[in-house]
Amino acid sequence: MLYFWLKSAHIIFVIFWMAGLFMIPRFFVYHQESLEGSDEAAKWVEREAKLIKIILNPSIIVVWVVGLLLAWQIGSLADGWFHAKLLFVLVLSAYHGWAVGYARKLARGERKLTGKQLRLFNEVPGIGAAVIVILVVAKPF
């Protein structure tokens, strides 16, 4: 029974985390397109901070804790597909860290990337999620 609760929690919080990872670079694009120092830019700083504090950070913590418990519960810690999944989850976690850092830079008025670059960064979570789902469902190795 514990397995089903862990799996449910893991899926729910992965959805929350991925939603946040899809939203944050889009927020960055809109923020960057606003006039620096404007009320609109200030609103984007606030929106980005709320997204990070309310959705992204709590979700990543639950995903990691419940995911590792789930892997332990089903005995997959030594499986090849799990190691590959873990690698991609680490990549998404690094992306999460980059996004939090970039939000801080934008809040300070540093606009180091172009809108086009940020739109490309928006593809990272989708690619990562697709690979992870394939690894979990197909278990190719």
Instruction: Name which of 29, 24, 9, 13 is nearest 89 in CA terms.
Output: 13
User: Can you say whether residue 37 is alpha, beta or left, with left for phi > 0 and alpha for psi between -120 and 50 degrees?
Assistant: left
Cα distances from 128 to residues 9, 18, 104, 116, 131, in angstroms, run: 20, 10, 24, 20, 5
Sequence letter at residue 23: M
Q: Is 10 annotated as a binding residue?
A: yes
The whole-angstrom separation of Cα 102 and Cα 17 is: 17
Triad 85, 86, 89: Cα angle to 5°: 90
User: 53 among the known binding-site residues?
Assistant: no
Annotated binding site for heme: 10, 85
Annotated binding site: 10, 85
